[in-house]
């Protein structure tokens, strides 16, 4: 499974409105619920926030990759979100986060989410990809950033 295989135009928010960590998680979960990928919204939000309590997924460079593995997730999915103003996500470098990838995987899946997380982290090390994502004004531009 590659990043481009799980990115879906219906799971993208190009102008996040949230201003806090928990709010952005709630906002990113909404498309998963709308598409029937998450069957119980509050349960999955709690799963992601419990993971955040262990250690932040704000990896720095303006990026956060919250994730959760849960029985209320029907298929592996990634929600892309972008904030124009930046959100304090308690990132490792202390800077605001602008680019978000929420990874959702079913409870019974293997460690494929770890492979996607690893791929995503490697891709986002590229300043060129980060710039393309920050400048993206359409879902197509987000997808092209990973080609």
Give dist(CA 121, CA 107) in Å, integer. 22
- CB-based contact 135:68 (threshold 8 Å): no
Half-sphere exposure of 50 (CA within 13 A, CB side): 9
3-state secondary structure of 10: strand
Establish whether 67 is a catalytic residue: yes
- CB-based contact 48:68 (threshold 8 Å): yes
**From 21, 67, 69, 113, the catalytic residue:** 67
SS (H, E, C) 40-104: CHHHHHHHHHHHHHHCCCEEECCEECCEEEECCECCCEEEEEEEEEEECCCCCCCCCEEEEEEEE
Give dist(CA 109, CA 129) in Å, integer. 28
**Which sequence positions are flagged as catalytic?**
67
């Amino acid at each position: 499974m590659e990043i481009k295989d799980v990115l879906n135009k219906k799971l993208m928010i190009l102008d996040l409105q949230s201003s806090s960590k928990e709010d952005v998680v709630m906002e990113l979960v909404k498309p998963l619920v709308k598409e029937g990928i998450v069957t119980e919204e509050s349960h999955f939000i709690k799963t992601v926030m419990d993971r955040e309590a262990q250690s932040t997924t704000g990896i720095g460079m303006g990026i956060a990759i919250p994730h959760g593995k849960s029985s209320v997730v029907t298929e592996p999915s990634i929600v892309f979100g972008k904030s124009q103003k930046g959100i304090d996500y308690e990132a490792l470098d202390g800077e605001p986060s602008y680019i978000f990838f929420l990874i959702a995987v079913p409870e019974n899946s293997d460690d494929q989410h770890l492979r996607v997380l690893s791929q995503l982290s490697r891709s986002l090390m590229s300043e060129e990809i980060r710039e393309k994502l920050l400048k993206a004004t359409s879902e197509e531009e987000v997808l092209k950033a990973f080609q």
